[in-house]
Structure 1
Amino acid sequence: NRIVAGMTLGTMVVEANRTSGALITANMAVDYGRQVFALPGRIDSPRSKGCHALIKNGAKLCESAEDILSEFEYLFPPSITPENEANVTPPSIPLSDEETILWKLLEATETHMDVLIRGSQLSAAKVSVVLMGMEMKRLVKRLPGQMYQRWDR
């Protein structure tokens, strides 16, 4: 737990009961001066109680990757804006095969996740994971209603 807490800029707890080992790591992260994030859950679920306690004690409430990225903005290029043109050049960073497929399917306007799943012929779980990675790289922006939009560097 000490090693994990010390190696990171921040610790994200997604689900934890009140006696979860994840809370030990989160508390060590606080001791090391690291940022702690927690995903709120159902108020009647014992598996959410640990995250709720973290939020009550000062952890940042996290609902999306953007919540984490905004805390570490200084690590990312400052001028990223949504792409408005029809012809978009591919990003300058290398993309995995799955990222390339989704990048080509994404449009400058909003694209629903179901369209990406059908068009890519990847599983919903795989598309979700790949989109999260692309969001962390600031290649796509997640919008309300399972909509995504391509961002250009």
Structure 2
Amino acid sequence: MDAERRAWLTLALTPGLGPVGLLKLIGAFGSAGVALGARRAQLAPHIGEEAADALIAGAAKERVEAAEAWLDGTQGAFLLTLLDDDYPAQLAETHGPPPLLFARGRRELLGFPKLAVVGSRNATPQGLDNARAFSRELAKAGYSIVSGLASGIDAAAHEGALAAPASTIAVIGTGIDRIYPARNRELGLRLAEHGLILSEFPLGTGALAHNFPRRNRIIAGLSVGCLVVEASVESGSLITARLAAEAGREVLAIPGSIHNPQSRGCHRLIKDGAKLVETVDDVLAEVGRAPAPLAHIAPEKTETRPQAVERGEGLAEPPLLAAMGYDPVDVDTLSVRLKLTAGEVYAMLLELELEGCVAGLPGGRFQRLS
């Protein structure tokens, strides 16, 4: 690591300095290296006495050494600074862009046009299918799909996009050496190899609630638009959508059943002016066609399959209702989701229909009523 890059790292990891203080020092002294060599009296007017004391005392020394060891020992790891040529222009144009990001994976994805796909952690099976399908087709169309590696819609969006050349970028709210939630660890490993992971937080940073809105601003800032697949009215995805709108980016939402609480956030966005999306072409009509992906950088990988719903685990309702979601669905689809035979699914549907929970529809499809 050259001296200037190490100086950026030192400033970024100094306690009490933060992104705003770092950028103030770069602006005042012209470079990180010069700022790092300044006297306390020169530093304090820009960042305050406490941060100046921390910088002079070398308070970031252990953090810097740990970061250098991680960079040297981790395949695909690199630092991205605001002055790098491939720092995404979309993000640089936002208010208060992160001056330094820890990164792991395919650096060339920084050059792809990007589209955020976000939504509920407690998604319905239909919502997960929509997230995978839209992300897969949008990534095939040349957009790198940006999301937050959370459970639910985020994870499904990453899974859907991984097989395409444009792939997917995860912006996480922890240190880049920690994957949260733990259930997404295997997905994180695939992202590190075939996609890209970004974090502005120091190594070892745990899952702290106040860090996730900061993560959301990067997701919104990287992207030309934000597609919300499913979201309750309290969902953090609405924060990402609001940040995208404030940055002048397109906001799009997929509508759902009026009976689905995970669709109400999308309906609110649509009422507030978000584009109602039914197809991938609807998305592309708003954000434009992306340049064709470069075939020679396409990673080798296999298509990921949707995960089946685990019967009964953590659900307060019958597993068949959870697997149905709120949209019409046929028996074959339910058989795949539940890993049951068609006969078993029919028997369960009949029982729920007698209880008034399910209604049969033309074409052999069924829909939940509550």
TM-score by length of 1: 0.51
Q: Distance in 1 between matches of 2:220 and 2:301?
A: 32
The yes-or-no answer on 1:36 pairing with 2:238 is no
Q: Distance in 1 between matches of 2:291 and 2:259?
A: 38
The structure having more radius of gyration, on CA atoms, is 2
* Deviation of 1:68 (Å): 1.1
- Choose the corresponding residue for 1:93, options 289, 295, 298: 295
Q: Which residue of 1 is the match for residue 234 of structure 2?
A: 19
Q: Distance in 2 between matches of 1:53 and 1:19?
A: 11
Identity of aligned residues (%): 46
Show CA shifts across 1:69-122 (max 9, x none). 122335347xxxxxxxxxxxxxx83675658xxxxxxxxxxxxxxxxxxxxxx9
Q: Distance in 2 between matches of 1:36 and 1:42?
A: 20
Confirm or deny: 8 A CA contact 2:250 2:287 kept in the other structure.
Answer: no
C-alpha change, 1:97 and 1:29, in structure 2 (3 Å) is closer
Q: Which residue of 1 is the match for residue 268 of structure 2?
A: 53
**1:68-147 counterparts in 2 under 5 A?**
68-73=283-288, 75-76=290-291, 93=295, 125=306
Q: Which residue of 1 is the match for residue 223 of structure 2?
A: 8
Listed as ranges, the gaps of 5+ residues in structure 2 are 1-215, 308-370
Q: Distance in 2 between matches of 1:68 and 1:24?
A: 20
Confirm or deny: 8 A CA contact 2:225 2:287 kept in the other structure.
Answer: no
The amino acid across from 2:246 in the alignment is D
Listed as ranges, the gaps of 5+ residues in structure 1 are 78-91, 100-121, 127-153
Instruction: Give the 3-state SS of the residue equivalent to 1:36 in structure 2.
Output: strand
Q: Distance in 1 between matches of 2:264 and 2:248?
A: 23
Aligned length: 90
In the TM superposition, structure 1's runs of 4+ consecutive aligned residues that sit over 3 Å from their partners are: 74-77, 92-99
Q: Distance in 2 between matches of 1:74 and 1:15?
A: 24
TM-score by length of 2: 0.22
Q: Which residue of 1 is the match for residue 282 of structure 2?
A: 67
C-alpha change, 1:74 and 1:47, in structure 2 (3 Å) is closer
Q: Distance in 1 between matches of 2:256 and 2:235?
A: 15
Instruction: Give the 3-state SS of the residue equivalent to 2:220 in structure 1.
Output: helix
The amino acid across from 1:14 in the alignment is V
Show CA shifts across 1:24-68 (max 9, x none). 000010000000010001011111100000001010111121111
The amino acid across from 2:295 in the alignment is I
Q: Distance in 1 between matches of 2:282 and 2:264?
A: 21
C-alpha change, 1:33 and 1:98, in structure 2 (3 Å) is same
Instruction: Give the 3-state SS of the residue equivalent to 1:20 in structure 2.
Output: coil
Q: Which residue of 1 is the match for residue 52 of structure 2?
A: none
